[in-house]
Amino acid sequence: MSLEKYRKKRNFTRTPEPEGEATETNRCIYVIQEHHASHLHWDLRLEANGVLKSWALPKDPPREVGVRRLAVPFEDHPIEYADFEGKIAEGQYGTGQVTIWDRGTYEPVFFGDDKIVVNIDGNKLKGKYCLIKSKFQGRDGWLLFKMKQ
């Protein structure tokens, strides 16, 4: 895992976002940030191998079984990003306000390259969730949904 892509997109003299290092924590951090960028979206992040694997959800995260959401993969973010809230300035990558929508930990059930199953223990999301690589309305992406226990 590398933060090269993450760093290339940002100018750390102009954004309050953390530059960060890949850091092993074994805490299994789970966080979703609400991001008021040009299009409102929610960024789901799961700690894996010293970074936060990241997906952008164009619609609000699914709280109930039966709701499927597109999850577009984005570059790995540093662990410190799990605590980030703030305003990304005009003209910078991801311009807009970022707030933490939910956070907690997860327990990995299955962690593969194109399928991930996790037990999420957050304040808003709780229970078993599946992320699976899939075509969604003709686009390459992932699907996120809550599973029956």
Q: Which positions touch Mn ion (CB under 5 A)?
A: 35, 43
Question: Whose Cβ is closer to Mn ion: residue 93's or residue 111's?
Answer: 93
Nearest residue by C-beta to Mn ion? 35
CB of 11 to Mn ion, least distance (A): 17
Question: Whose Cβ is closer to Mn ion: residue 35's or residue 146's?
Answer: 35
Rounded CA gap, 93 and 37, in Å?
A: 9
Rounded CA gap, 85 and 99, in Å?
A: 5
CB of 21 to Mn ion, least distance (A): 21
Question: Whose Cβ is closer to Mn ion: residue 43's or residue 76's?
Answer: 43
CA 74 to chain centre: 8
CB of 61 to Mn ion, least distance (A): 13
CB of 65 to Mn ion, least distance (A): 26
How many CB atoms within 10 Å of residue 63? 12
Question: Whose Cβ is closer to Mn ion: residue 43's or residue 47's?
Answer: 43
